[in-house]
């Protein structure tokens, strides 16, 4: 699902850098990259946990 998300992170950082967001906020591009990376990984964990919960719930309904 999240294949190639680092490419999208790079694209977002490029757009933000072009818009001058990093100079205005004083936040570095590397910090934003790390924050986005952590958020994507956390959302992946949440989606996986919910999928596992849903699969177990459906298995119980079948039995």
5 falls within a domain: no
22 falls within a domain: no
Residue 46 CA: distances (Å) to CA of 7, 29, 41, 43: 22, 26, 9, 5
Q: Would you state the pLDDT for residue 57?
A: 92
Stated pTM of the model: 0.65
pLDDT for 6-19, tens place per residue?
Answer: 788 888 888 988 88
Output the average pLDDT for the chain: 86
pLDDT for 40-55, tens place per residue?
Answer: 889 989 999 999 999 9
Other CB atoms within 10 A of residue 13 CB: 17
6 falls within a domain: no
Q: Which domain covers residue 44, as residue numbers? A: 27-63
Torsion of CA 42, 43, 47, 49, to 10 degrees: 20
Quote the CA–CA distance of 2 and 10 in Å, as a whole number: 14
């Amino acid at each position: 699902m999240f294949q190639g998300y680092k490419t999208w992170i790079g694209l977002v950082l490029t757009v933000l850098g072009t818009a001058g967001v990093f100079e205005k906020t004083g936040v570095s591009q590397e910090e934003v990259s790390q924050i986005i990376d952590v958020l994507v990984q956390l959302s992946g964990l949440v989606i996986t946990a919910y999928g596992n919960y849903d699969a177990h719930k459906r298995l119980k309904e079948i039995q």
